[in-house]
Amino acid sequence: MTTLMVFRNDLRVADNTALWHAQQSGDAVIALFCYTPKQWQAHDLGPNKVAFIHAHVRALSEALAKLGIPLLIRSSKDFTASVKDVLKVARAHHVNDVHVNIQYEWNERERDKALDAALAKHDITLHRHVDHTVVHPSAIQTGSGDYYKVFTPYKRAWITHCIDQEIPQQELKIKKQKPISLKADPIPDRISGYHIQAALDGPLKGWPCGEKAAQKILRDFINQRVKGYKTARDVPALDATSRLSAYLAIGIISPRQCLRAALAANDGRLGGGDVGIDTWVSELIWREFYAHVIFGFPHICKTHAFKRQTDAIAWNDNQSHFDAWRNGVTGIPIVDAGMRQLRQTGWMHNRVRMIVAMFLSKNLFLDWRLGERHFNQHLIDADFASNNGGWQWSASTGTDAAPYFRIFNPYSQSARFDPDGEYIKTYVPELAELDKKYIHEPHKAPDEIFETLNYLRPIVDCKKTRQAAIDAFKSLGKNN
Protein backbone atom coordinates (compact mmCIF):
# COMPACT_ATOMS: atom_id res chain seq x y z
CA MET A 1 0.00 0.00 0.00
CA THR A 2 1.02 3.59 -0.63
CA THR A 3 0.14 6.77 1.22
CA LEU A 4 0.05 10.09 -0.61
CA MET A 5 1.22 13.41 0.82
CA VAL A 6 0.09 16.46 -1.17
CA PHE A 7 2.22 19.56 -0.61
CA ARG A 8 0.80 23.09 -1.02
CA ASN A 9 2.03 25.97 1.17
CA ASP A 10 4.11 23.66 3.39
CA LEU A 11 7.15 23.10 1.18
CA ARG A 12 9.42 21.54 3.78
CA VAL A 13 10.25 18.19 5.27
CA ALA A 14 11.11 18.94 8.90
CA ASP A 15 8.26 19.31 11.36
CA ASN A 16 5.68 18.86 8.62
CA THR A 17 2.49 17.64 10.29
CA ALA A 18 0.84 15.99 7.28
CA LEU A 19 4.06 14.34 6.14
CA TRP A 20 4.68 13.02 9.64
CA HIS A 21 1.16 11.57 9.84
CA ALA A 22 1.55 10.05 6.36
CA GLN A 23 4.61 8.19 7.64
CA GLN A 24 2.81 6.93 10.75
CA SER A 25 0.68 4.67 8.53
CA GLY A 26 3.77 2.52 7.98
CA ASP A 27 3.05 2.45 4.22
CA ALA A 28 5.46 3.77 1.63
CA VAL A 29 4.88 7.49 1.16
CA ILE A 30 4.83 9.23 -2.20
CA ALA A 31 4.48 13.00 -2.53
CA LEU A 32 2.80 15.32 -5.00
CA PHE A 33 2.91 19.02 -5.80
CA CYS A 34 0.47 20.57 -8.29
CA TYR A 35 1.44 23.80 -10.04
CA THR A 36 -1.78 25.84 -10.39
CA PRO A 37 -0.63 28.96 -12.27
CA LYS A 38 -4.06 30.02 -13.48
CA GLN A 39 -5.32 29.93 -9.90
CA TRP A 40 -2.28 31.87 -8.73
CA GLN A 41 -3.03 34.51 -11.31
CA ALA A 42 -6.65 34.66 -10.20
CA HIS A 43 -5.26 35.18 -6.66
CA ASP A 44 -2.96 37.95 -7.91
CA LEU A 45 0.25 36.14 -7.01
CA GLY A 46 3.17 37.85 -8.69
CA PRO A 47 6.37 36.45 -10.16
CA ASN A 48 8.41 37.07 -6.99
CA LYS A 49 6.34 34.72 -4.86
CA VAL A 50 5.86 32.21 -7.67
CA ALA A 51 9.63 32.13 -8.30
CA PHE A 52 10.16 31.58 -4.57
CA ILE A 53 7.67 28.70 -4.61
CA HIS A 54 9.32 27.24 -7.72
CA ALA A 55 12.82 27.36 -6.21
CA HIS A 56 11.50 25.64 -3.11
CA VAL A 57 9.69 22.89 -4.99
CA ARG A 58 13.09 21.98 -6.42
CA ALA A 59 14.69 22.09 -2.95
CA LEU A 60 11.82 20.02 -1.54
CA SER A 61 12.20 17.39 -4.24
CA GLU A 62 15.90 17.07 -3.38
CA ALA A 63 15.22 16.89 0.37
CA LEU A 64 12.50 14.25 -0.10
CA ALA A 65 14.74 12.21 -2.43
CA LYS A 66 17.26 11.91 0.41
CA LEU A 67 14.49 10.29 2.47
CA GLY A 68 13.49 7.94 -0.34
CA ILE A 69 10.22 9.82 -1.00
CA PRO A 70 9.64 10.65 -4.68
CA LEU A 71 7.97 14.00 -5.43
CA LEU A 72 5.56 13.84 -8.36
CA ILE A 73 4.73 17.06 -10.17
CA ARG A 74 1.55 17.96 -12.03
CA SER A 75 0.78 21.11 -14.01
CA SER A 76 -2.83 21.45 -13.01
CA LYS A 77 -3.79 24.92 -14.22
CA ASP A 78 -6.22 25.63 -11.36
CA PHE A 79 -7.70 24.16 -8.18
CA THR A 80 -10.45 22.26 -10.00
CA ALA A 81 -7.86 20.57 -12.20
CA SER A 82 -5.67 19.88 -9.17
CA VAL A 83 -8.48 17.88 -7.52
CA LYS A 84 -8.66 15.67 -10.60
CA ASP A 85 -4.89 15.29 -10.67
CA VAL A 86 -4.66 14.28 -7.02
CA LEU A 87 -7.39 11.70 -7.58
CA LYS A 88 -5.63 10.34 -10.68
CA VAL A 89 -2.33 9.99 -8.86
CA ALA A 90 -4.02 8.38 -5.86
CA ARG A 91 -5.80 5.82 -8.03
CA ALA A 92 -2.79 5.10 -10.23
CA HIS A 93 -0.68 4.28 -7.17
CA HIS A 94 -3.36 2.36 -5.22
CA VAL A 95 -3.44 4.91 -2.44
CA ASN A 96 -5.87 4.49 0.48
CA ASP A 97 -4.99 7.64 2.40
CA VAL A 98 -4.12 11.16 1.29
CA HIS A 99 -2.61 13.63 3.76
CA VAL A 100 -2.66 17.43 3.42
CA ASN A 101 -2.07 20.40 5.66
CA ILE A 102 -5.11 22.67 5.90
CA GLN A 103 -5.25 26.00 4.07
CA TYR A 104 -7.68 28.52 5.52
CA GLU A 105 -8.65 30.71 2.57
CA TRP A 106 -12.11 30.27 1.06
CA ASN A 107 -11.19 28.88 -2.39
CA GLU A 108 -8.69 26.52 -0.78
CA ARG A 109 -11.35 25.27 1.64
CA GLU A 110 -13.79 24.72 -1.23
CA ARG A 111 -11.08 22.87 -3.16
CA ASP A 112 -10.47 20.55 -0.21
CA LYS A 113 -14.20 19.89 0.17
CA ALA A 114 -14.29 18.86 -3.48
CA LEU A 115 -11.13 16.77 -3.02
CA ASP A 116 -12.60 15.00 0.00
CA ALA A 117 -15.77 14.15 -1.94
CA ALA A 118 -13.87 13.02 -5.06
CA LEU A 119 -11.58 10.75 -3.05
CA ALA A 120 -14.40 9.36 -0.93
CA LYS A 121 -16.15 8.08 -4.07
CA HIS A 122 -13.17 5.77 -4.48
CA ASP A 123 -12.90 4.85 -0.79
CA ILE A 124 -9.82 6.98 -0.35
CA THR A 125 -9.62 9.00 2.85
CA LEU A 126 -8.44 12.61 2.99
CA HIS A 127 -6.66 13.46 6.26
CA ARG A 128 -6.32 17.18 7.03
CA HIS A 129 -3.77 18.48 9.50
CA VAL A 130 -2.98 21.75 11.24
CA ASP A 131 0.37 23.11 10.19
CA HIS A 132 0.22 26.61 8.70
CA THR A 133 -0.58 28.02 12.13
CA VAL A 134 0.29 26.77 15.59
CA VAL A 135 -3.39 26.25 16.40
CA HIS A 136 -6.34 25.75 14.09
CA PRO A 137 -8.25 29.04 13.68
CA SER A 138 -11.44 27.52 15.07
CA ALA A 139 -9.72 26.19 18.21
CA ILE A 140 -9.80 29.63 19.82
CA GLN A 141 -13.27 31.09 20.36
CA THR A 142 -14.92 33.58 22.67
CA GLY A 143 -17.01 32.45 25.66
CA SER A 144 -20.11 32.69 23.45
CA GLY A 145 -18.56 30.53 20.72
CA ASP A 146 -17.77 33.36 18.30
CA TYR A 147 -14.60 34.24 16.50
CA TYR A 148 -12.56 37.03 18.05
CA LYS A 149 -12.61 40.45 16.44
CA VAL A 150 -10.06 42.07 18.73
CA PHE A 151 -6.44 41.01 19.00
CA THR A 152 -5.66 41.38 22.71
CA PRO A 153 -8.34 39.00 24.07
CA TYR A 154 -7.55 36.62 21.20
CA LYS A 155 -3.89 36.68 22.20
CA ARG A 156 -4.74 35.93 25.84
CA ALA A 157 -6.96 33.00 24.82
CA TRP A 158 -4.32 31.75 22.36
CA ILE A 159 -1.62 31.72 25.06
CA THR A 160 -3.91 29.93 27.54
CA HIS A 161 -4.80 27.36 24.88
CA CYS A 162 -1.15 26.71 24.02
CA ILE A 163 -0.15 26.38 27.67
CA ASP A 164 -3.09 24.01 28.36
CA GLN A 165 -2.36 21.88 25.30
CA GLU A 166 1.40 22.03 25.87
CA ILE A 167 1.99 23.46 22.39
CA PRO A 168 4.46 23.53 20.74
CA GLN A 169 5.53 19.97 21.42
CA GLN A 170 8.69 18.30 20.16
CA GLU A 171 9.68 18.71 16.53
CA LEU A 172 8.08 16.07 14.29
CA LYS A 173 10.88 13.91 12.87
CA ILE A 174 10.56 12.60 9.35
CA LYS A 175 12.32 9.28 8.73
CA LYS A 176 14.13 7.85 5.75
CA GLN A 177 11.98 5.17 4.13
CA LYS A 178 12.90 1.96 2.28
CA PRO A 179 13.58 2.65 -1.38
CA ILE A 180 10.62 2.28 -3.76
CA SER A 181 10.69 1.88 -7.52
CA LEU A 182 8.87 5.14 -8.33
CA LYS A 183 11.07 8.02 -9.56
CA ALA A 184 10.57 11.70 -8.79
CA ASP A 185 9.33 13.88 -11.67
CA PRO A 186 11.60 16.52 -13.14
CA ILE A 187 10.90 20.11 -12.05
CA PRO A 188 9.36 22.05 -14.94
CA ASP A 189 11.59 24.73 -16.46
CA ARG A 190 8.73 27.12 -17.10
CA ILE A 191 5.48 28.04 -15.42
CA SER A 192 2.66 28.94 -17.76
CA GLY A 193 1.79 32.66 -17.65
CA TYR A 194 4.77 33.59 -15.44
CA HIS A 195 8.14 35.06 -16.37
CA ILE A 196 10.16 34.35 -13.29
CA GLN A 197 13.71 34.84 -14.53
CA ALA A 198 13.78 38.55 -13.60
CA ALA A 199 12.59 37.65 -10.10
CA LEU A 200 15.24 34.93 -9.79
CA ASP A 201 17.97 37.31 -10.96
CA GLY A 202 16.70 40.23 -8.86
CA PRO A 203 14.63 40.18 -5.66
CA LEU A 204 15.18 36.47 -4.94
CA LYS A 205 18.93 36.96 -4.61
CA GLY A 206 18.25 38.38 -1.15
CA TRP A 207 16.39 35.26 -0.01
CA PRO A 208 18.51 32.13 0.43
CA CYS A 209 16.71 28.99 -0.64
CA GLY A 210 15.80 25.96 1.46
CA GLU A 211 14.82 24.75 4.90
CA LYS A 212 18.37 24.86 6.22
CA ALA A 213 18.69 28.49 5.14
CA ALA A 214 15.43 29.35 6.90
CA GLN A 215 16.60 27.56 10.07
CA LYS A 216 19.81 29.56 10.01
CA ILE A 217 17.90 32.83 9.62
CA LEU A 218 15.81 31.85 12.66
CA ARG A 219 18.87 30.85 14.69
CA ASP A 220 20.77 34.03 13.86
CA PHE A 221 17.76 36.18 14.68
CA ILE A 222 17.19 34.49 18.03
CA ASN A 223 20.91 34.55 18.93
CA GLN A 224 21.71 38.05 17.75
CA ARG A 225 18.67 40.31 17.36
CA VAL A 226 15.54 39.18 19.15
CA LYS A 227 16.45 40.79 22.50
CA GLY A 228 16.53 44.24 20.89
CA TYR A 229 13.44 43.57 18.78
CA LYS A 230 10.93 45.63 20.76
CA THR A 231 12.58 48.96 20.09
CA ALA A 232 14.54 48.29 16.90
CA ARG A 233 11.74 46.58 14.95
CA ASP A 234 10.14 49.92 14.04
CA VAL A 235 13.27 51.41 12.51
CA PRO A 236 13.28 50.57 8.80
CA ALA A 237 16.98 51.39 8.33
CA LEU A 238 17.91 48.59 10.74
CA ASP A 239 18.03 44.89 10.02
CA ALA A 240 16.18 44.24 13.26
CA THR A 241 13.36 41.89 12.35
CA SER A 242 13.59 38.20 11.52
CA ARG A 243 12.83 38.36 7.76
CA LEU A 244 11.13 35.01 8.06
CA SER A 245 7.75 36.04 6.59
CA ALA A 246 8.45 34.71 3.07
CA TYR A 247 9.50 31.34 4.52
CA LEU A 248 6.49 31.17 6.82
CA ALA A 249 4.12 32.08 3.97
CA ILE A 250 4.96 28.96 1.96
CA GLY A 251 5.94 26.77 4.89
CA ILE A 252 9.71 26.54 4.49
CA ILE A 253 9.75 26.91 8.25
CA SER A 254 6.86 26.09 10.58
CA PRO A 255 5.38 28.58 13.05
CA ARG A 256 5.93 25.92 15.74
CA GLN A 257 9.65 25.88 14.97
CA CYS A 258 9.68 29.68 15.39
CA LEU A 259 7.73 29.51 18.62
CA ARG A 260 9.89 26.70 20.01
CA ALA A 261 13.07 28.68 19.30
CA ALA A 262 11.58 31.76 20.97
CA LEU A 263 10.47 29.81 24.05
CA ALA A 264 13.83 28.08 24.35
CA ALA A 265 15.49 31.51 24.47
CA ASN A 266 12.91 32.73 27.00
CA ASP A 267 13.34 30.05 29.69
CA GLY A 268 10.29 28.29 28.31
CA ARG A 269 8.01 31.25 29.02
CA LEU A 270 5.06 31.94 26.79
CA GLY A 271 3.78 35.42 27.69
CA GLY A 272 6.18 37.64 29.60
CA GLY A 273 9.89 37.04 30.13
CA ASP A 274 12.32 38.85 27.87
CA VAL A 275 10.56 41.84 26.36
CA GLY A 276 12.10 41.41 22.91
CA ILE A 277 11.13 37.76 22.69
CA ASP A 278 7.68 38.44 24.10
CA THR A 279 7.08 41.14 21.48
CA TRP A 280 8.24 38.85 18.66
CA VAL A 281 5.94 36.07 19.84
CA SER A 282 3.12 38.62 19.76
CA GLU A 283 3.82 39.16 16.07
CA LEU A 284 3.60 35.43 15.47
CA ILE A 285 0.25 35.57 17.26
CA TRP A 286 -0.90 38.44 14.96
CA ARG A 287 -0.26 36.02 12.11
CA GLU A 288 -2.45 33.42 13.84
CA PHE A 289 -5.09 36.08 14.55
CA TYR A 290 -5.43 37.08 10.90
CA ALA A 291 -5.78 33.40 9.92
CA HIS A 292 -8.50 33.12 12.60
CA VAL A 293 -10.24 36.17 11.14
CA ILE A 294 -10.37 34.97 7.52
CA PHE A 295 -11.49 31.53 8.68
CA GLY A 296 -14.25 32.87 10.92
CA PHE A 297 -15.39 35.64 8.59
CA PRO A 298 -15.02 34.20 5.09
CA HIS A 299 -16.75 37.18 3.42
CA ILE A 300 -13.29 38.76 3.76
CA CYS A 301 -11.98 36.25 1.20
CA LYS A 302 -14.62 37.44 -1.26
CA THR A 303 -13.29 41.02 -1.60
CA HIS A 304 -15.55 42.42 1.16
CA ALA A 305 -14.37 44.58 3.99
CA PHE A 306 -14.67 43.03 7.45
CA LYS A 307 -16.85 46.04 8.41
CA ARG A 308 -19.35 45.65 5.61
CA GLN A 309 -20.70 49.17 5.99
CA THR A 310 -17.34 50.47 4.75
CA ASP A 311 -17.99 48.76 1.40
CA ALA A 312 -20.26 51.77 0.81
CA ILE A 313 -17.38 54.24 0.84
CA ALA A 314 -17.04 56.14 -2.44
CA TRP A 315 -13.30 55.84 -2.83
CA ASN A 316 -11.55 58.19 -5.25
CA ASP A 317 -10.96 56.99 -8.76
CA ASN A 318 -7.61 58.51 -9.65
CA GLN A 319 -5.30 56.38 -11.77
CA SER A 320 -2.47 58.94 -11.77
CA HIS A 321 -2.41 58.99 -7.96
CA PHE A 322 -2.36 55.20 -7.90
CA ASP A 323 0.46 55.14 -10.46
CA ALA A 324 2.45 57.67 -8.43
CA TRP A 325 1.98 55.55 -5.32
CA ARG A 326 2.94 52.24 -6.88
CA ASN A 327 5.94 53.72 -8.69
CA GLY A 328 7.21 55.52 -5.59
CA VAL A 329 6.90 59.05 -7.00
CA THR A 330 4.46 60.73 -4.62
CA GLY A 331 6.86 63.45 -3.43
CA ILE A 332 6.65 62.05 0.11
CA PRO A 333 10.06 60.47 0.72
CA ILE A 334 9.11 57.78 3.25
CA VAL A 335 6.24 56.59 1.02
CA ASP A 336 8.43 56.60 -2.09
CA ALA A 337 11.24 54.77 -0.28
CA GLY A 338 8.82 52.03 0.84
CA MET A 339 7.27 51.54 -2.57
CA ARG A 340 10.69 51.40 -4.20
CA GLN A 341 11.95 48.94 -1.58
CA LEU A 342 9.01 46.72 -2.51
CA ARG A 343 9.82 46.89 -6.24
CA GLN A 344 13.53 46.33 -5.79
CA THR A 345 13.53 43.66 -3.12
CA GLY A 346 10.04 42.08 -3.07
CA TRP A 347 9.72 43.00 0.62
CA MET A 348 8.90 46.09 2.69
CA HIS A 349 9.51 46.90 6.33
CA ASN A 350 6.38 46.52 8.48
CA ARG A 351 6.33 50.11 9.76
CA VAL A 352 6.61 51.40 6.21
CA ARG A 353 3.89 48.99 5.02
CA MET A 354 1.57 50.68 7.52
CA ILE A 355 2.63 54.16 6.40
CA VAL A 356 2.18 53.54 2.66
CA ALA A 357 -1.10 51.67 3.24
CA MET A 358 -2.55 54.52 5.29
CA PHE A 359 -1.34 57.03 2.75
CA LEU A 360 -3.09 55.14 -0.06
CA SER A 361 -6.33 54.55 1.77
CA LYS A 362 -6.61 57.81 3.72
CA ASN A 363 -4.64 60.57 2.00
CA LEU A 364 -5.16 59.42 -1.58
CA PHE A 365 -8.48 57.93 -0.47
CA LEU A 366 -8.11 55.07 -2.94
CA ASP A 367 -9.76 51.71 -2.37
CA TRP A 368 -7.52 49.65 -0.06
CA ARG A 369 -8.14 46.63 -2.31
CA LEU A 370 -5.97 48.27 -4.99
CA GLY A 371 -3.10 48.40 -2.54
CA GLU A 372 -3.76 44.90 -1.24
CA ARG A 373 -3.60 43.61 -4.83
CA HIS A 374 -0.41 45.52 -5.61
CA PHE A 375 1.26 44.10 -2.49
CA ASN A 376 0.12 40.58 -3.39
CA GLN A 377 1.59 40.98 -6.87
CA HIS A 378 4.99 42.10 -5.57
CA LEU A 379 5.63 40.70 -2.10
CA ILE A 380 7.72 37.55 -1.82
CA ASP A 381 5.98 37.00 1.52
CA ALA A 382 2.47 37.57 0.10
CA ASP A 383 0.04 35.85 2.42
CA PHE A 384 -3.67 36.47 1.96
CA ALA A 385 -4.61 36.61 5.64
CA SER A 386 -1.75 38.84 6.83
CA ASN A 387 -1.88 41.08 3.79
CA ASN A 388 -5.61 41.55 3.96
CA GLY A 389 -5.38 42.05 7.72
CA GLY A 390 -2.66 44.68 7.35
CA TRP A 391 -4.57 46.53 4.66
CA GLN A 392 -7.87 46.50 6.48
CA TRP A 393 -6.14 47.60 9.68
CA SER A 394 -4.64 50.57 7.84
CA ALA A 395 -7.87 51.42 6.00
CA SER A 396 -9.94 51.20 9.24
CA THR A 397 -12.25 48.66 7.61
CA GLY A 398 -11.05 45.54 9.44
CA THR A 399 -11.03 43.72 12.76
CA ASP A 400 -9.28 45.64 15.50
CA ALA A 401 -8.40 48.23 12.88
CA ALA A 402 -6.83 51.64 13.44
CA PRO A 403 -9.75 53.99 14.34
CA TYR A 404 -10.61 56.03 11.24
CA PHE A 405 -9.71 59.33 12.91
CA ARG A 406 -6.20 58.14 13.90
CA ILE A 407 -4.41 58.72 10.63
CA PHE A 408 -0.63 58.50 10.43
CA ASN A 409 1.07 61.69 9.34
CA PRO A 410 3.69 60.28 6.96
CA TYR A 411 6.08 63.16 7.70
CA SER A 412 6.05 62.69 11.46
CA GLN A 413 6.24 58.90 11.10
CA SER A 414 9.27 59.45 8.91
CA ALA A 415 10.93 61.82 11.39
CA ARG A 416 10.22 59.45 14.25
CA PHE A 417 11.29 56.15 12.73
CA ASP A 418 13.89 57.22 10.17
CA PRO A 419 15.32 60.28 11.95
CA ASP A 420 18.47 60.59 9.86
CA GLY A 421 16.75 59.65 6.63
CA GLU A 422 19.02 56.64 6.27
CA TYR A 423 16.24 54.41 4.93
CA ILE A 424 14.95 57.14 2.64
CA LYS A 425 18.40 57.73 1.17
CA THR A 426 18.86 54.02 0.46
CA TYR A 427 15.83 53.88 -1.81
CA VAL A 428 15.44 57.49 -2.98
CA PRO A 429 18.91 58.35 -4.26
CA GLU A 430 17.68 61.75 -5.54
CA LEU A 431 17.75 62.79 -1.87
CA ALA A 432 21.09 61.23 -0.96
CA GLU A 433 22.85 64.59 -0.59
CA LEU A 434 19.97 66.46 1.04
CA ASP A 435 20.49 67.89 4.52
CA LYS A 436 18.78 65.87 7.26
CA LYS A 437 16.79 69.01 8.14
CA TYR A 438 14.74 68.66 4.94
CA ILE A 439 14.92 64.92 4.32
CA HIS A 440 11.36 64.17 5.47
CA GLU A 441 9.76 67.14 3.70
CA PRO A 442 12.05 68.24 0.85
CA HIS A 443 9.37 70.57 -0.52
CA LYS A 444 9.93 72.73 2.56
CA ALA A 445 13.56 73.34 1.63
CA PRO A 446 14.32 76.79 0.14
CA ASP A 447 13.62 76.87 -3.60
CA GLU A 448 17.30 77.12 -4.50
CA ILE A 449 17.90 73.81 -2.70
CA PHE A 450 14.73 72.07 -3.86
CA GLU A 451 15.40 73.01 -7.50
CA THR A 452 18.73 71.16 -7.41
CA LEU A 453 17.00 67.92 -6.46
CA ASN A 454 15.55 65.73 -9.13
CA TYR A 455 12.53 65.22 -6.86
CA LEU A 456 8.92 66.29 -6.93
CA ARG A 457 6.50 68.13 -4.67
CA PRO A 458 3.88 66.07 -2.77
CA ILE A 459 0.97 64.99 -4.96
CA VAL A 460 -1.51 65.80 -2.17
CA ASP A 461 -1.72 68.00 0.90
CA CYS A 462 -1.67 65.51 3.78
CA LYS A 463 -3.55 67.78 6.20
CA LYS A 464 -6.46 68.49 3.89
CA THR A 465 -6.78 64.93 2.66
CA ARG A 466 -6.64 63.63 6.22
CA GLN A 467 -9.66 65.74 7.17
CA ALA A 468 -11.55 64.68 4.04
CA ALA A 469 -11.02 61.02 4.92
CA ILE A 470 -12.25 61.56 8.48
CA ASP A 471 -15.37 63.30 7.17
CA ALA A 472 -16.06 60.47 4.71
CA PHE A 473 -15.79 57.84 7.46
CA LYS A 474 -17.90 59.95 9.82
CA SER A 475 -20.66 60.11 7.25
CA LEU A 476 -20.97 56.30 7.40
CA GLY A 477 -22.55 56.60 10.84
CA LYS A 478 -21.64 55.73 14.35
CA ASN A 479 -20.75 52.05 13.78
CA ASN A 480 -17.25 53.08 12.82
Ligand X SMILES: Cc1cc2nc3c(=O)[nH]c(=O)nc-3n(C[C@H](O)[C@H](O)[C@H](O)COP(=O)(O)OP(=O)(O)OC[C@H]3O[C@@H](n4cnc5c(N)ncnc54)[C@H](O)[C@@H]3O)c2cc1C
Backbone φ and ψ of 100, nearest 5°: -140, 155
Question: Does 283 qualify as catalytic in the annotation?
Answer: yes
CB of 171 to ligand X, least distance (A): 19
287 binds ligand X (CB under 6 A): yes
266 binds ligand X (CB under 6 A): no
104 binds ligand X (CB under 6 A): no
Nearer to ligand X, 290 or 417 (CB): 290
Element (H, E) at 31: strand 28-35
Nearer to ligand X, 203 or 389 (CB): 389
Backbone φ and ψ of 349, nearest 5°: -65, 140
CB of 255 to ligand X, least distance (A): 8
CB of 370 to ligand X, least distance (A): 12
Which position among 383, 401, 413, 423 is part of the footprint of ligand X (CB under 6 A)?
Answer: 383
Residue at 230: amino acid letter: K
Select from 156-164, 278-286, 296-304, 325-333 the region that touches ligand X (CB under 6 A). Answer: 278-286
290 binds ligand X (CB under 6 A): yes
Nearer to ligand X, 389 or 421 (CB): 389
Asked if the bond preceding 168 is cis, omega within 30° of 0, the reply is: yes
Question: Does 286 qualify as catalytic in the annotation?
Answer: yes
CB of 79 to ligand X, least distance (A): 20
Which position among 284, 360, 424, 434 is part of the footprint of ligand X (CB under 6 A)?
Answer: 284
103 binds ligand X (CB under 6 A): no
CB of 393 to ligand X, least distance (A): 6
390 binds ligand X (CB under 6 A): yes
Which position among 361, 394, 397, 399 is part of the footprint of ligand X (CB under 6 A)?
Answer: 394
Which position among 103, 245, 361, 363 is part of the footprint of ligand X (CB under 6 A)?
Answer: 245
Nearer to ligand X, 128 or 287 (CB): 287
CB of 243 to ligand X, least distance (A): 4
Q: Are 251 and 10 in contact (CB under 8 A)?
A: yes
Distance CA 359, CA 148 (A): 28
Nearer to ligand X, 35 or 229 (CB): 229
- Print the SS3 string covering 419-461: CCCHHHHHHCHHHCCCCHHHCCCHHHCCHHHHCCCCCCCCCCC
**CA atoms 76, 81, 82, 84: torsion sign:** negative
Per the residue annotation, which of 9, 96, 350, 480 is the catalytic one? 350
Question: Does 393 qualify as catalytic in the annotation?
Answer: no
Smallest CA-to-CA distance from 90 within 109, 112, 65, 115 is with 115
Nearer to ligand X, 90 or 385 (CB): 385
249 binds ligand X (CB under 6 A): yes
Question: Does 350 qualify as catalytic in the annotation?
Answer: yes
Distance CA 201, CA 153 (A): 44
Task: Name which of residues 204 to 243 contact ligand X (CB under 6 A).
Answer: 233, 241-243
Q: Are 324 and 330 in contact (CB under 8 A)?
A: yes
Nearer to ligand X, 11 or 90 (CB): 11
Select from 296-304, 330-338, 350-358, 399-407 the region that touches ligand X (CB under 6 A). Answer: 350-358
Distance CA 133, CA 390 (A): 17
Nearer to ligand X, 10 or 97 (CB): 10
382 binds ligand X (CB under 6 A): yes
Distance CA 7, CA 432 (A): 46
350 binds ligand X (CB under 6 A): yes
**Contacts with 4 (C-beta within 8 Å, 6 or more apart), sequence order:** 22, 29, 30, 31, 32, 86, 89, 90, 93, 95, 97, 98, 99
Q: Are 459 and 331 in contact (CB under 8 A)?
A: yes
CB of 36 to ligand X, least distance (A): 19
Question: Does 316 qualify as catalytic in the annotation?
Answer: no
Q: Are 214 and 59 in contact (CB under 8 A)?
A: no
Q: Which residue is nearest to ligand X (CB)?
A: 390
Smallest CA-to-CA distance from 178 within 62, 28, 6 is with 28
- Print the SS3 string covering 42-85: HCCCCHHHHHHHHHHHHHHHHHHHHCCCCEEEEECCCHHHHHHH
386 binds ligand X (CB under 6 A): yes
Report in angstroms the alpha-carbon separations of 473 from 399, 462, 466.
16, 16, 11
363 binds ligand X (CB under 6 A): no
80 binds ligand X (CB under 6 A): no
Q: Which residues are catalytic, by number?
A: 283, 286, 315, 350, 368, 391
Residues that bind ligand X (CB under 6 A): 233, 241-245, 248-249, 283-284, 286-287, 290, 350, 353-354, 357, 375, 379, 381-383, 386-387, 389-391, 394
